[in-house]
Chains A and B, each alone.
Chain A
């Protein structure tokens, strides 16, 4: 067992968990933050993306113990009460259907916009599509996801 200390969505948490526990299991099972999803076993689908110390990570491929001491933001903690511009953009543009990949898409989208802004680079349609390499959606054909991220990029 390993003691894991994290700040998750602004709250300090501490748990003794098996050494092998993944960050996504810690979030879903220990903290019952079930907005973060698991869609594959091989780090391709991105349904599990959260922010760890300000960077998008795949929580299915991160040990809880690895993250210990860090600060995690999940979909539940992205905005307090109101909607984040990225969340609103997904609703405005019909950027989701079944909703399963959506938390990961939104967390990746927020990270992508922030990185491009910090680097002073334009987030083009082409760049959005390439940046989404690690997030799979089976419902939307990506059309409205790309539009959602374009809208949010203009508002963030």
Chain B
């Protein structure tokens, strides 16, 4: 077995360039003949554009062009698409309003792009953008999803006069109603899942390069999925046919979902490069990022769960309004439906579930998948419900969970998903042991003696990752297949290059992907390189999101390696005059088992490429490709336990201990997996305690910078305790489930359940700021007698 193989915490190979300042991010790219783009953006949440006067901007030194929506549409650039078709419960298709990369007649959110200035310098472009005089007729606006669906709310798109994008359902309503009607106890809960801004630290950026002689475009961009970007830019936005468009996503500084989408700015930079004959660069500043990067979450939910007299769940009914913002972004419609309501069964046996999701247009930036995407919303609902129910029924919440845990697999839920494997009680046991739950009463008493309120909160989450198989997602409305591709190249010198359609923007693929190759071929990791992020190098790929790079991306590599192995064995058997079945790969060599006859990988490689002595009929070369389409989603699950201390005088919450026990199946690199959990947990803590995108009633964005939007800092979080359970996933060759999103999914209910445990009231919303916590505490106390 390779010392750098599966299960080893190999230090990251990509680190050196980052820790020495030699990373190459999109904004680090500089082309010859480069000009800069700056966007003219709507200051209004909703308005008609009645005129654009560019004369003053055009008169400035160094301004090359000012381009507007009508020109873009006139040049045949297509509207921005949404990639998942949802059908309403009455059978009608969802209502998709037109979204042009530059607004033509109407702006629908603060930040909606109206025009672009191309100039010699970045500052020159920005200054000139201020001088473009856009005349607006303001229209009434609405920012909240529930308000947008009320009668009389301002209409955003003519195709949806009531702002309803879809009114969708899942599950059996009659059976669920009957279950609730016959339940011994019905627990009700109203929750808001707060709107978040993803905030990868690298702002989005694009450099578009048009080669007039070849009629060819190159786009450097901050993308999680460069091939999908090329596909969409080509097939739908008509920028260029695919063979005339190369998309490169170099080092990308975090994504968390927000860099899946193909935004107006990339489209406009490509088009502007052609219009001006210049390379065009645009880099978002943070304020622009808050105004234009797709936001996440933003659900309002009412739910009822029924229990029988023994505490078994009998039914679960959920009504959710999802705010999707001003336009339907790429995966926006899938997020509150098939990525949300299909997880409403949680880890529990629930005989009847019904979910109704109404999606609303509002005058806010589009909302789409953000780390977890629908699954955090489901988990927050299910896990707050379980804790609330235990409190209401006066039973131990861990016992209530255990009583209802699914114990046998496969398990078909009433909401599409078929869970393939899991050990939910084992996860809970591991978490409780690591969190020293037994010692909690003493810790609580000690806190009380210091005047602090100590609480313990649980969350037993489940998620669906891999997002596949393609045939299944296609039947549910997906516009793309969700497989992955890989190519394994053995070079004549015996080194190996892996080309993958997955994309790493912090996940460490250059290390983990090499580890599975080192394991399979028993080679030093130094002999293996990972190539990704360039449509000219990698044949195709669906990119990285939905925790799919392990379960889907690595599986494609395994499949290609199997093909290489078969050919290597044939070559070795031929050259060593042995039977193929006797050939083994070990110790960096290809050997005849039980003999000293062996060939090095360099000898196999050379034999394959010289082709002087190959078996009859064998093609020269040693390169194999594979496309892998999973058989099912994967189902990572776990239990998180959060312990807090609340200062009743100030409402300040301190997270004193956080324990995560996750079941990710097979783990390639524990160090990297734990890092993924750390980051996800911090984002979950951010959602629970700190983060909230705020629009005022008129649709003005009030949280447009890090001065108004509270990002988690190092002193907001503790050291985390991480435990692993390893139930092998039967659905893919390595038995992996995915680890990228679990932290963000499992954490928020654990934090809120802990705070509400501490303060003794269940009535608390995210983010649980000191003000909100203090107010909640005051409500629990008897009103002071008037003097």
Contact = CB atoms under 8 A, between A and B. Distances in A.
Interface of A: 18, 20, 28, 32-42, 44-45, 47, 74-76, 78, 83, 87, 90-92, 94, 96-103, 106, 125-126, 128-130, 132-133, 135-146
A13 to B, nearest CB: 17
Contacts of A139: 201, 254, 506, 675, 679
Interface string B478-508: 0000000000000000000000000001111
A140 B675 contact: yes
A44 B22 contact: no
A132 B714 contact: yes
A42 B706 CA distance: 7
B526 interface: no
Contacts of A90: 15, 19
Contact of A97 (B17, B19, B508): B508
B679 A138 contact: yes
Contact of B678 (A75, A106, A135, A143): A143
A39 B21 CA distance: 15
B120 to A, nearest CB: 13
Given A18-B123, A100-B25, A76 B20 contact: yes
Given A39-B201, A138-B201, A143-B678, A98 B252 contact: yes
Contacts of A33: 21
A39 B286 contact: yes
Nearest to A87: B19
B285 interface: yes
Interface string B187-198: 000000000000
Contacts of B285: 38, 40-41
Given A75-B20, A100-B254, A146 B713 contact: no
Contacts of A96: 12, 15, 18-19
A58 B39 CA distance: 26
A87 B285 CA distance: 27
B538 interface: no
Nearest to B684: A141
Chain B: interface size category = 35 or more
Contacts of A94: 11-12, 671-672, 674-675
Contact of B203 (A18, A35, A39, A99): A39
Interface string B2-22: 000000000110111111111
Interface in B229-277: 251-254, 256
A129 B19 contact: no
A98 B200 contact: yes
B18 to A, nearest CB: 3
Given A35-B23, A98-B254, A141-B682, A136 B706 contact: yes
A99 B23 contact: yes
A106 B714 CA distance: 14
Given A132-B714, A136-B711, A139-B679, A98 B202 contact: yes
B642 to A, nearest CB: 14
Q: Which of B18, B680, B711 has the most CB of A within 10 A?
A: B18
Nearest to B22: A35
Contact of B714 (A18, A39, A97, A142): A142
Contacts of B254: 97-98, 100, 138-139
Among A39, A75, A78, find the residue whose CB has the most chain B CB atoms closer than 10 A: A39
A91 B508 contact: no
A142 B711 CA distance: 12
B619 interface: no
B20 A140 contact: no
Nearest to B682: A141
B200 A44 contact: no
B681 A141 contact: yes
B310 interface: no
Interface in B704-752: 705-707, 711-715, 717, 719-720, 743
Nearest to B678: A141
Given A35-B20, A40-B286, A94-B675, 19 more contacts: A28-B28, A32-B30, A34-B24, A38-B27, A76-B20, A76-B21, A94-B11, A98-B254, A99-B14, A100-B202, A100-B254, A137-B201, A139-B201, A141-B677, A141-B712, A142-B712, A143-B678, A144-B678, A146-B719
Given A35-B23, A96-B18, A102-B19, A40 B705 contact: yes
Contacts of A133: 713-715
A44 B290 CA distance: 15
A35 B21 contact: yes
A141 B680 contact: yes
Contacts of A136: 201, 706, 711, 713
A40 B714 contact: no
B21 A74 contact: yes
Nearest to B675: A94
A76 B28 CA distance: 14
A42 B508 CA distance: 30
B204 to A, nearest CB: 12
Given A97-B675, A140-B679, A132 B508 contact: no
16 contacts: A20-B123, A34-B21, A37-B25, A40-B285, A41-B286, A42-B705, A97-B508, A99-B18, A100-B202, A103-B18, A130-B714, A137-B201, A138-B679, A142-B714, A143-B678, A143-B717
Nearest to B24: A34
A142 B716 CA distance: 10
A99 B251 contact: yes
A129 B715 contact: yes
B683 interface: yes
Nearest to B253: A100
B287 A141 contact: no
Contacts of B11: 91-92, 94
- Name the 9 nearest CB pairs between A and B, nearest first: A35-B21, A99-B18, A100-B253, A141-B682, A98-B506, A75-B21, A141-B678, A97-B506, A44-B706
B714 A129 contact: yes
A63 to B, nearest CB: 13
A10 to B, nearest CB: 15
Contacts of B22: 35, 76
A36 to B, nearest CB: 7
Contacts of B714: 128-130, 132-133, 135, 137, 142, 145-146
Contacts of A92: 11
A32 B24 CA distance: 12
B635 to A, nearest CB: 23
For B11, B16, B203, B713, the residue with the greatest tally of chain A CB atoms inside 10 Å of its CB is: B713
A101 B15 contact: no
Given A35-B21, A140-B675, A146-B719, A91 B706 contact: no
B18 A142 contact: no
Nearest to A126: B715
Contacts of A140: 675, 678-679, 682
Contacts of B719: 125, 143, 146
A31 to B, nearest CB: 12
Contact of A36 (B21, B507, B683): B21
A61 to B, nearest CB: 13
A39 B289 CA distance: 10
Contacts of B713: 129, 132-133, 136, 142
A47 B201 contact: yes
B279 interface: no
